[in-house]
Every structure is written in structure tokens, then in C-alpha cells.
Structure 1
Amino acid sequence: MFKTMKECTEFIFTLKAVDHKREPLVLMREVLALLNNPQDKLRTIHLAGSNGKGSTVNALREMLQHAGYKVGAFTSPHLERVNERMTINGLQISDTQFLHYMNKVAEIIETHYGGEFPSFFEVVTLIMFQYFADQDVDIALIETGLGGRLDATNVITPLISIITTISLEHTAFLGDTLAKVAFEKAGIIKEGVPVIVGVKSDTALTVIREVALKRHAPCLVLGEDFTVENAIQGTNMQHFHYQKANVEMADVSLKMAGSHQIDNASLAITAILTLRENRAINISDEAVRQALANAQWAGRFEQLPGNIVLDGAHNSEGTAALIQTLKTVYPNQNYRFIYAALSDKDHTNSIALMDTVATSIAFTQIDLPNAMHAEKLATLSTNTNIAFNENWKELVQTVLHQKDAQDIVVITGSLYFIAEVRQWLQGERK
């Protein structure tokens, strides 16, 4: 049994999905049954997608909280501590509660499975379901970890499903075409449950529509069944016009920057309005508006003092959105990129996109087994001003020291990298 959070987290971080060859979801369902199926006691919203899940969850949480609901949110990855992955009304699960639920899982694994633990993500998912059920949350917002069809979270029948975007990622697991990735993400669509879709690729959309049709799930698509127009980006706030059938919301204010965040907000609005139409929740248009004007999400175009931007753009779709936002918010300044990423990502396209706008680009790496080497990343860039250093703290200090008043330092790539830099910068500022 685990007595301290340090002992517990050190153990669960060693658990890898590849170490076990069980049929997907079988162990999840068996263990949940032994825990009296806490997932069946929850009203949920289920989210899958390559980018935008966290921001969409954040918008949904703000709206529902504003309307007085007790909202659980299960997100990944964490930026500083694993407790961040499960929050209720923004407050993280306590160490005591985490250990309590972890030990219940550990007892079952020891007793029924000879101590052969499932993956890290399956373990934290099992903890989350118990915690949210015991705390009697009104609605739980649940992000998939990887894909959807075989994801550990895909044991729920939600009130509504959301698929944010589709891009090539985790190709070893999800497939090497947009159609294959879309099929995996569409695995969260349940019989008769509405699905809200922000996907723009025709190839991916065709697959999602086919799955929705087969499962008799109403499918609402951004740009068709609901629209956003008249977007205006200011320095601290952007505004847009939203419409869905006979519902119109003019001049909606959004704190988060970037046109992709307007898309994410529109998915959240559509989910809320659909739940309201289905009488699953009671919420006013005003609550929606006020929530979006306040919603923030750490590590997503997060602007820090000293002209530093942190953004976890971990694939080429995210990088394109980041660059578009930079051009809108800081149109006349130089961009000095610092990039570190994991080896299973589409680096070539992401780096090519940064090369088109970067005054300089510096590569580094983080201490993870699947981190891409800094020198290898550097060989993919055609920029005339390239640097690389395996020690990310040294590299960040060097770039910050070299920058002048017209430079924006953009720290991007893996969210694990963003998390480490963010924590370190906060410590440096203190």
C-alpha cells in the first residue's frame, strides 16, 4: 500500500501501456465492476481530438460553474503535478484522496491480477472515476488520453461527445492517415448520443459522419450546423459572432487568443446549447458569455512578463494555429522559437512552419525516454539562425539573454516541456 504521494507517483510513472498485451478496455471494465462501476453514476461529456481538448474542457467548465454546477474535469497531460488531471470546480484532488483511491486500485490489482498493473493512464482514469462518483459531481468533463475507440476513458455513455480536430499524431497507435486517426477518435461516438465536431478535413469528416450515422448519433459540424463569424483579435481579448439555427450570440468576448480558440469556444457553446435544448442542464446565455470572457488555460498561448509566450503546440496543426495567433497578436515583432518535442510527433512539418516566420530557432530536449534529441531536431530546420543544446535551462537562459525589445520568445513543443519551463520560470521570477 502507498503511504506517500512521492512513493505513489514514482511508481505510477513507471507504468507503460506497451508492457501489457491485454485486450484493450477488458481490464478497465473488470476493475470498474469490482469498484461497483463508479463511471455509471456520472453524467459526462466526452472529448477526443488531436488539439483543442483542454481549451474546450476549460470553456465548458467555466460555463457550467458559472451556472452553479459542480463540475469535475479530467485532463492531460499535467503541467506540474499529477493531481492537476482531476479537478472539481478547478480544485485539484488532494494527495490524501489520490492515495485512498490508488490504494483501492492497488488492492484489486494485487488480489485479482497478481500485481500486474495496467498503464499509468488506466490507473489515473480508475482513480478519477471513483473520485468524481464519491464527490457526486453534477457533470464530469472527460478527455481521452490517446485516440478514443480503445482509450481507457471509453467505458462511459456520455450526455454528449465532442471531437475537436484531427491531425496525424501517434501514428504507430492511431494509423498513418487522417481517415485512420478519425476512425479511432470517432470511437467515442455512442448510440443516439449527439456529437459536436470541429474537424475541417473532408477525409476525416466523412469517416466521423459514417460512424455517427451508423450509431444514430446527431452530428453537428462547425461551419455547417453552427458558425462563427466577424472575429476581431485585440491585445487582451477577442470577439466573435456565434450562430446555431435560431440561436444567435453577437459580439461574444473570449479571453484566450487565436482563431483556433474561437473554434474551441464554439464547440463548447454548441455542446451547452444542445444539452439545454435536451433539458439536461439549465444555463443562461449570459452565463455562457461571462464564462468565456474569463476562461484561461495554462500553457496555451500563455503570455508571461518579458515578452515570453508558452504554447504546447505539439503537432503541425497546433504549430500553424500558434503562428497565426502570433501574427495577429504581435504582428510587427521578431519571433525567437525554442522547441523541444517527443519522438512520435510530426517534427518536419512543425519546424518547416516555424522556419517561415522565425528570426531564430533553438532546439533542446527534456529528460524523457521518448524525447527527440536536440541535435536531430536541429537538422530538420532550414533557418539561418539555428542553435541547439541538450540542457534546456542553459538554452532558455541564453535566448532570453540575447533577445531585444522587439523580440517575442516563443517556447513551444511538448506540453511536458512547457510544464518544466513554466515551473522553472515562475521559480526564477520569485
Structure 2
Amino acid sequence: MFTTMEQCTDFIFKLKAVDHKRAPLVMMREVLAHLDNPQDKIKAIHIAGSNGKGSTVNALRKMFEGAGYKVGAFTSPHLERVNERMTINGVQIPDAQFLQYMNAVARIIETHYNGDYPSFFEVITLIMFLYLAAAQVDFALIETGLGGRLDATNVITPLVSIITTISLEHTAFLGDTYAKVAFEKAGIIKEGVPVIVGVKNEEALAIIREVASERHAECFILGEDFTSTTPQQLEGMQQFDYEKADIKMQEIALKMAGAHQVANASLAVTAMLVLQEKGHVRIAESSIRTALQTAQWAGRFEQVAQNIVLDGAHNSEGTAALIQTLKDVYPNRKYNFIYAALSDKDHVNSVALMDKVANSIAFTQISLPNAMPAEQLAALSQHPKKVYSSDWLGVIDAEIQGKEVDDILVITGSLYFIAEARKSLLEVVR
């Protein structure tokens, strides 16, 4: 049995999905049955999508909290501690309870599966279900890890499903076309359960509409069934109008920067309104407004120091949103990029987008088995002022020392890289 978090995390971080060849979700359902099916004891909102899941979850969490509800959330990846992935009203699961539920899972694996553990994500998903069910949260916001149809979280029947965006990512697992990726993400749509959709790609939207229709799921699509206006940039804030049927909310203040965050906020507002229409919640417009005015999400256009921005833009859609946000928030400035990423992403397009607007680009890498080597990333760039080094700490230090006062240093790429960079930078700032 596990007695310390260090012992526990050392073990679970080594668990890999590729080591286990079971049929998807079969073991999840079997182990959950041994645990008395905690997933059936929570009222869930299920969120899938290539980008925007965490920001949408965070906006919803703040709305629920503002309305007086006890709300659990399951997000990924974590930036510093695995405990960040499961919270109640924003407070991380305590170590003692993490270990308690890990040991409950371990007993079943050892007893019934001869110690043949499932993947890291499946294990923490099991811990999350136990934790949120035991805490008797009013609602649980559950973010998928990868895809949707075969995701470890896809054992719930939620009150509402949300699909944020569709990008070509994890193509080895999800497919190499928008239609294939959309089919996987649409796997979270359940019979008769409303789905809120922020997807814009028509190929992907067609698949989502088809699946929703087959499952008799009411479908609310951004730009069709609800709308939001182009945001107006204010001091440390942006403002937009929202409309759904006869509901109109004007001049909503949003703390998070970027037009893509307006889309995420609109998805969250729509989900709350649908939940209210179905009789699941009671929430005042003032609670929605206050939540959006205060909600922020670490590693998403996070300004950690003077003219230094961290953003986990881990695919080309995210990179495009980051660049547009830079232009909105810091117009007429020079942008110096630092980029590190994993090998399963669409780097060609992301790098090409940065090439067009960058003053300079530095490529680096982090110590993960699937990290893309800095030299290979740099080879994708045509920028005249590009450098590369495998020493990410050295790269960040050199770029900070070398930049002009008014230049914006943009540290971006994999959220795992952002986590490491953020930890290092905040230690300096503190």
C-alpha cells in the first residue's frame, strides 16, 4: 500500500496506456463496479475538445461557486502537483485522501488483476470518481483526457455535454481528418443529453450534428443557437455581448484575454442556461457576470512578469488564437517566442504561424520521452532569427536577458513545458 505522495506519484507516473492491451473502457467499468460505481452518484457536466476545455471548466466552476453550489472539477494536465487535477470549489484533493482512494484502487487491481495496472490517466480518473462521490458534490465538471469516445471519463451519463473545438491533434490515436477527430470527440454525446458546441470547422460540425441527431441530443451551436460579439479590449479586461433566444446579456466583462476565451465563456454561459432551463440549477445573471469577471486559468495567456506571457498553445489552432490575442493585448510590439512541444502535434503549421509574426524564435525541449527535439523543431522554421538548444532553462534565461524592455517574451507550446517554465519563473518572481 502507498504511504506517501512521493511513493504514490513515482509509481503512477510510470503507468502507460501502451503497456496494457485491454479493450477500451472494459477495465474502467469493471473496477468501478468493484468500487460500487461512484461515477453514477455524481451529477456531471462532461467537456471534450482540442482547446479550451480547462478555461470552460474554470468559468463554469466560478459560476457554480458564485451560485452557492459545491462543485468538483477534474482537469488535465497539472502544472505542479497531480492534486491540481481534482478540486472541490477550487481546493485540491488533500494528500491523505488521494492516498486513501489510490489504495482502494490498488487493492482491487492487486486482487482481481494480479497487479496489472491500467494507465496513469485511468487510475487518477478512478481516484477522482471516488473522491467527488464521497464528498457529495452538487455538480462535477469532468474534462476528457484524450478524445472522448474511448476516454477513461466516458463512463458517465452527464446532465450536459460540451465540445469546445476540434483540431488535428493526437492523429495517431484520433485520426488524421477533422471528421475522424470529431467522431472521437462526439463520443461523449449521450442519448437525450443536451450538447453545447463551439466547433467551427464544417467537416467536424457535420459529424457532431449527425451523432447528436442519432442520439436525440439537443444541440446548441455557437454562432447559430447562441452568439457572442467580437470583444472590445479594455484595461486588463475585455467585454462582449451574449445572446441566446430571448436572453440577452450586454457588456459582459471577461478577465481572460483573447477572442477564443469569449467563445469558451459563451459555452459556459450556455451550459448554465440549459441546466437552468432543465431545472438542474438556479443561477442569477449577476453570478454569471461575476464569475467571468474573475475567472482566470494558469498557463493560458498568463502574464507572469513584466512583458512575459505563458500560454499552452499546443496545436495550430491554439497558436493562431495566441497570436491574435498578442495583437489585441500588445499591439505594435515585438514578440520573441520560446517554443517546446511533444512529438504528436502539428508543429509545421504552428511554427509557420509564429514565423510570420515573430521578432525571434528560440526552440527548446523538456525531459519527456515523447518531447520533440529542439533541433527538429528549429528545422521547421524559416525565421532568420531562430536559435535552438536542449537546455530550456538556459534558453529562457538567455531570452530574458537579451530582450528589449518593451519586447514581449512569449513562452509557449506543450502544457508540460509551460508547467516547468512557470514553476521556474514564479520562483524568481516570488
TM-score for the superposition, normalised by structure 2: 1.00
Is the 2:80–2:419 Cα contact (8 Å) retained in structure 1? yes
SS at match of 1:390: coil
Matching residue's letter, 1:191: E
Matching residue's letter, 1:360: S
CA shift, 1:195, in A, is 0.1
Is the 2:304–2:426 Cα contact (8 Å) retained in structure 1? no
Separation of aligned partners in 1, 2:376 and 2:237? 38
* CA offsets 1:342-391 (integer angstroms, 9 cap, x no match): 00000000000000000000000000000000011000001110011101
Matching residue's letter, 1:2: F
Equivalent residue runs for 1:160-309 within 5 Å: 160-309=160-309
CA shift, 1:230, in A, is 4.5
Q: Which residue is 1:129 aligned to?
A: 129
* CA offsets 1:246-288 (integer angstroms, 9 cap, x no match): 0000000000000000000000000000000111000001100
Equivalent residue runs for 1:91-110 within 5 Å: 91-110=91-110
Is the 1:235–1:329 Cα contact (8 Å) retained in structure 2? no
* CA offsets 1:276-308 (integer angstroms, 9 cap, x no match): 011100000110001100000000000122210
* CA offsets 1:154-186 (integer angstroms, 9 cap, x no match): 000000000000000000000000000000000
Matching residue's letter, 2:261: Q
CA shift, 1:235, in A, is 3.6
Is the 2:168–2:176 Cα contact (8 Å) retained in structure 1? yes
CA shift, 1:318, in A, is 0.1
Q: Which residue is 2:372 aligned to?
A: 372
Separation of aligned partners in 2, 1:229 and 1:414? 30
Separation of aligned partners in 1, 2:253 and 2:380? 39
Q: Which residue is 2:354 aligned to?
A: 354
Equivalent residue runs for 1:45-194 within 5 Å: 45-194=45-194
Is the 2:305–2:429 Cα contact (8 Å) retained in structure 1? no
Q: Which residue is 1:11 aligned to?
A: 11
Matching residue's letter, 2:288: V
Separation of aligned partners in 1, 2:230 and 2:149? 36
Separation of aligned partners in 2, 1:189 and 1:298? 28
Is the 2:220–2:226 Cα contact (8 Å) retained in structure 1? yes
Q: Which residue is 1:31 aligned to?
A: 31
Q: Does 1:40 align with 2:55?
A: no
SS at match of 2:336: strand
Tell which deviates more after alignment, 303-312 or 205-214: 303-312
Matching residue's letter, 2:56: T
SS at match of 2:231: strand
Matching residue's letter, 1:312: G
Matching residue's letter, 2:428: E
* CA offsets 1:310-362 (integer angstroms, 9 cap, x no match): 00000000000000000000001100000000000000000000000000000
Q: Which residue is 2:335 aligned to?
A: 335
Q: Does 1:389 align with 2:389?
A: yes
Q: Which residue is 2:314 aligned to?
A: 314
Separation of aligned partners in 2, 1:233 and 1:160? 31
Separation of aligned partners in 1, 2:427 and 2:179? 44
Is the 2:87–2:93 Cα contact (8 Å) retained in structure 1? yes
SS at match of 1:282: coil
Separation of aligned partners in 2, 1:336 and 1:230? 27
Is the 1:192–1:216 Cα contact (8 Å) retained in structure 2? yes
Q: Which residue is 1:413 aligned to?
A: 413
Separation of aligned partners in 1, 2:255 and 2:97? 33
Is the 2:257–2:301 Cα contact (8 Å) retained in structure 1? yes
Separation of aligned partners in 1, 2:420 and 2:81? 11
Separation of aligned partners in 2, 1:48 and 1:235? 32
Identity %: 70
Is the 1:316–1:347 Cα contact (8 Å) retained in structure 2? yes
Separation of aligned partners in 1, 2:286 and 2:429? 37
Say how many residue pairs are matched.
430
Separation of aligned partners in 2, 1:286 and 1:9? 41
Is the 1:74–1:141 Cα contact (8 Å) retained in structure 2? yes
SS at match of 1:124: helix
What root-mean-square deviation, in Å, do the aligned CA atoms of Structure 1 and Structure 2 show?
A: 0.5
Is the 1:400–1:409 Cα contact (8 Å) retained in structure 2? yes
Uncovered stretches (5+) of structure 1, i.e. residues with no partner: none
Separation of aligned partners in 1, 2:194 and 2:341? 35
Uncovered stretches (5+) of structure 2, i.e. residues with no partner: none
SS at match of 1:381: coil
Is the 1:175–1:181 Cα contact (8 Å) retained in structure 2? yes
Matching residue's letter, 2:355: D
Separation of aligned partners in 1, 2:268 and 2:306? 32
SS at match of 2:369: coil
SS at match of 2:337: strand
TM-score for the superposition, normalised by structure 1: 1.00
CA shift, 1:405, in A, is 1.5
Separation of aligned partners in 1, 2:383 and 2:234? 30
Matching residue's letter, 2:203: T
Separation of aligned partners in 1, 2:31 and 2:268? 32
Separation of aligned partners in 2, 1:65 and 1:218? 26
Is the 1:234–1:329 Cα contact (8 Å) retained in structure 2? no
Is the 2:230–2:259 Cα contact (8 Å) retained in structure 1? no
Is the 2:366–2:392 Cα contact (8 Å) retained in structure 1? yes
Is the 2:52–2:164 Cα contact (8 Å) retained in structure 1? yes
